[in-house]
Amino acid sequence: MRDVYIIGVGMTPFGKFLDSGMKQLAREAVENALEDAGVTSDELGLAAVGNSGWGAYAGQLAIRGQVVLRPLGIGGIPVINVENACACASTALHNAWLYVASGQCELALAVGMEKLYHPEKSRVMQSFIGGTDVEESMKMIAEALQSGQNPHTIFMDIYAREARRHMEKYGTTQRQLAAISSKNHNHSTLNPKAQYRKAFTVEEVLADREVAFPLTRAMCSPIGDGAAAAVVCSGDYVKGRDGSRPVKILASVLGSGMDRGEDGANICRRLALQAYELSGVTPGDVDVAEVHDATAYAELAASEHLGFCAYGEGGSLAESGATSLGGKIPLNPSGGLECKGHPVGATGLAQIAEIVWQLRGEAGERQVEGARIGLTQNGGGAIEPEEAAMAIHILAV
């Protein structure tokens, strides 16, 4: 397998853009990435395009990538359409990486895009069920309704249940979850592309409206619209290119959930071990990470599975300040999904863009000093007892 580098990234701001269509969002992200890379679209040998919800709202199925890329003059090359729940964009990057690493092309484009705002909010909430085992989820929702509970989105209930299990097993507290959320909200104030840019104290997070105990609204990611993209190339292509600022992909690992039994390793731990082995990196070598904090609990769990602390210590790690900017292992300097936003099909490549900017020293006020190695962890969907899909990338300069 050949060395692969990211030489360009781009993303839109994340937020509520009722007047912007998917083609417009994708155009902004792709053009920004191509400009950042200093390449033209006719040099591309592949495009991989991730999206999850467009078909549910607009009926645009099967050829979403071709539809958004044609107006940009991108056609003729292989276009891979990727649907993998919240891991769409990172899966698209994995496909682009594979094409370049295996010698199929020299230059490839990965795109993630999403529109979740819709005048009929119930359709949006209903669509999230598709990222789970629908038959089992409908039973869970029916039970919640019978008991008088509001099930909200199915994923918030799943995360809340896992958080309660963690609390029972390790003594994790709701206040520790609030510390994670407060940290991410504070980080988001430094990110001009974040959907929410309001600081929250721990007390304000705890006082926010409860979604499903122990999660309050401030601990949960919002829905949103947006797109992100990356241009990847081979080591041979990047040689002699002045000013390309290449970031090397040390590891690109993709996997799916499994029935692992009571004592089996979680999908995140399994993939992390693979990524560390492939890259020759240890958890202690990672300077900065963007992890899939669809809720504050999800970040806590990721910090443990990724080996940044021992199991049961994720809450105290956050409370200590170690995961904040200036700490030992800053997590989600972008503000994370909780605050930067979570347009499902775009999230994984937005994480990649943040790490690329961090490693180049281009992250502005949220820059992690001396960052040389970065990691992204992007989960997608849920099938008991873990995420249905996940990708982990380790990048370095």
The catalytic residue positions are 86, 342
Measured CA to CA, the distance from residue 67 to residue 179 in angstroms comes to 42
Measured CA to CA, the distance from residue 302 to residue 317 in angstroms comes to 12
Give 167-198 as a DSSP string.
HHHH---HHHHHHHHHHHHHHHTT-TT-S---
Distance, CA of 265 to chain centre: 21
| Residue 274 tokens, joined | 């693979």
Q: For strands 215-216 and 210-212, give the pairing.
A: antiparallel
| Residue 193 tokens, joined | 């592309």
CA proximity to 96, closest of 223, 215, 228, 209: 228
> Position of tokens 């504070």?
186
Measured CA to CA, the distance from residue 274 to residue 258 in angstroms comes to 16
The single-letter DSSP state of residue 21 is -
> Which region, left, alpha or beta, applies to residue 89 given φ > 0 means left and ψ of -120 to 50 means alpha?
alpha
CA proximity to 350, closest of 287, 292, 278: 292
Question: How many Cβ atoms sit within 10 Å of the Cβ of residue 129?
Answer: 17
Q: Which residues contact 393 (CB under 8 A, 6 or more apart)?
A: 90, 93, 249, 251, 252, 253, 275, 352, 355, 375, 376
Q: For strands 288-291 and 373-380, give the pairing.
A: parallel
First to last CA, the chain: 19
360 to 6, 237, 395: CA distances (angstroms):
11, 19, 11
Residue 5 backbone dihedrals phi, psi, to 5 degrees: -125, 150
